[in-house]
């Protein structure tokens, strides 16, 4: 398990370095995750230690929502003051996400809309 944690931390550190010195607009953890994905794709498998860490993380995934819930509680007055703007932004972003996902799926599957 330690080996898997070290791998994850190394890729996150690599992502942070690339973000700091080469791509400052992209967050380091995102770059690290992309590097880890590329590494695993080239390697072909995750390995036992990384698989164990991933399984353990996924069992406790709910804990990652605690900071978001704390943020909502901390900024409740601001959320109430701008409730309409937040609701409109959420509805529009969800609709755009669904539309873009549908277009990407359509492009990847090669389906023609006229053949229905």
Mean of per-residue pLDDT scores for the chain: 89
Q: Which of residues 40, 59, 78 is at a domain's end?
A: 59
Give residue 1's pLDDT band: very low, low, confident or very high (50, 70, 90). Answer: confident
pTM of the complete model: 0.58
Q: Which of residues 38, 59, 80 is at a domain's end?
A: 59
Residues 48 and 78 occupy one common structural domain: no
Written in H, E and C, the secondary structure of the chain is CHHHHHHHHHHHHHHHHHHHHCCCCCCHHHHHHHHHHHHHHHHCCCCHHHHHHHHHHHHCHHHHHHHHHHHHHHCHHHHHHCHHHHHHHHHHHHHHHHHHHHHHHHHHHCCCCCCC
Q: Which domain holds residue 1?
A: 1-59
Query: For 3-49, how does the pLDDT look when each residue is reduced to its tens digit (9 = 90+)?
Result: 889 999 999 999 999 999 998 899 999 999 999 999 999 998 888 89
Residues 5 and 49 occupy one common structural domain: yes
What is the total count of domains within the chain? 2
């Amino acid at each position: 398990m330690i080996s898997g944690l070290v791998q994850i931390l190394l890729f996150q550190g690599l992502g942070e370095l690339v973000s700091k010195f080469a791509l400052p607009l992209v967050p380091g953890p995102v770059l690290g995750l992309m590097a880890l994905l590329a590494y695993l794709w080239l390697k072909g498998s995750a390995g036992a230690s990384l698989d164990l860490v991933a399984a353990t993380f996924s069992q406790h995934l709910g804990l990652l929502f605690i900071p978001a819930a704390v943020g909502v509680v901390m900024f409740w007055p601001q959320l109430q003051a701008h409730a309409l703007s937040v609701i409109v932004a959420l509805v529009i972003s969800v609709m755009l996400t669904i539309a873009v996902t549908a277009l990407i799926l359509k492009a990847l599957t090669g389906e023609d809309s006229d053949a229905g």
